[in-house]
């Protein structure tokens, strides 16, 4: 059944693949983005998927943006919390600002989006909330105390909320990607990236579409008995 889906950070990287895959699965998709107008325009031109600009770190902006999406497309039944940033630094060099930016976007952003959509999902007694965590939230990563904390927080958040949503047919799940071939991973110094790939048993980076397929499944009506779970898609790099 086609529903309205909202994908944060949905015009680039993993988010873009998720937006497209949800559309191909028959859903009406809205993709949000934080700053890159040109990429968003290009994405809409190529896919026909509407894009909306706001910061997920801003609670009131989320409320206003969601009102606009629902006025345009109808009630949102599927939320994909995908927007995320890195500010990598060894802890002794990490600034309070680098900590705050990552927590505000990757963890508080998930609260801001979900909290604004929760009342409508409860009323309609239906919802699919899927949050994109990371292998680095599961295993920790050198130079990512901020990012690993935020992504581990996303898992705890989802496990708690799964218990609250269950009685209203709202499922809350996580997909934890490993290293995927996106701008974020390509920004890692090449030498470091090669060392990372050497630790991935399948011997390559993942493709965004490999994450998108997990999301489409969790977003489907058929996945109603799965809640509070984490699907790891990391090429065997880490088992949890």
**Residues with catalytic annotation?**
147
CB nearer ligand CAA, residue 135 or residue 212: 135
Q: Give least dist CB 240 to ligand CAA, A.
A: 14
CB 108 within 8 A of CB 57: yes
Between 126 and 179, name the residue whose CB sits nearer to ligand CAA: 179
The Cα 223–Cα 130 span in angstroms is 12
Residue closest to 65 by CA, chosen among 112, 22, 123: 112
Q: Which strand ranges, in their side-by-side order, compose the sheet holding 127-132?
A: 50-53, 28-33, 4-7, 78-81, 127-132, 170-177, 230-233
When the beta carbons of 227 and 237 are compared against ligand CAA, the nearer one is 237
Instruction: Give 181 or 223: the residue with its C-beta nearer to ligand CAA.
Output: 181
In angstroms, give the least distance from the CB of 143 to ligand CAA: 4
Q: List the beta bridge partners of residue 175.
A: 132, 231
Burial degree of 184 (CB within 10 A; 0-12, 13-18, 19+)? middle
Q: How far is the CB of 33 from ligand CAA (least distance, A)?
A: 18
Q: Answer whether 129's CB lies under 8 Å from 79's CB.
A: yes
Q: In angstroms, give the least distance from the CB of 115 to ligand CAA.
A: 24
Phi, psi of 176 (to 5 degrees): -110, 95
For 82-235, strand residue ranges (E) read 127-132, 170-177, 230-233
Binding residues (CB under 6 A) for ligand CAA: these are 86, 88-90, 93, 134-136, 141-144, 147, 179, 184-185, 188-189, 192
């Amino acid at each position: 059944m086609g529903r309205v889906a909202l994908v944060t950070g949905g015009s680039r990287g993993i988010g873009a693949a998720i937006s497209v895959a949800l559309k191909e699965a028959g859903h009406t998709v809205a993709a949000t983005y934080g700053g890159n107008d040109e990429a968003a325009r290009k994405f809409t031109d190529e896919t026909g998927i509407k894009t909306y600009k706001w910061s997920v770190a801003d609670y009131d902006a989320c409320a206003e943006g969601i009102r606009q999406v629902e006025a345009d497309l109808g009630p949102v039944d599927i939320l994909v919390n995908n927007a995320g940033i890195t500010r990598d630094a060894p802890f002794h060099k990490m600034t309070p600002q680098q900590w705050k930016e990552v927590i505000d976007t990757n963890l508080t952003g998930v609260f801001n989006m979900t909290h604004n959509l929760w009342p409508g999902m409860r009323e309609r007694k239906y919802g699919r909330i899927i949050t994109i965590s990371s292998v680095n939230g599961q295993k920790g990563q050198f130079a990512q105390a901020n990012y690993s904390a935020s992504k581990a927080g996303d898992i705890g958040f989802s496990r708690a909320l799964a218990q609250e949503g269950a009685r209203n047919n709202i499922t809350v799940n996580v997909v934890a990607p490993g290293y995927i071939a996106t701008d974020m991973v390509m920004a890692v110094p090449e030498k470091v990236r090669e060392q990372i790939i050497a630790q991935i048993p399948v011997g390559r980076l993942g493709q965004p579409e490999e994450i998108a397929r997990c999301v489409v499944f969790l977003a489907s009506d058929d996945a109603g008995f799965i809640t509070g779970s984490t699907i790891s898609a990391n090429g065997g790099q880490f088992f949890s």
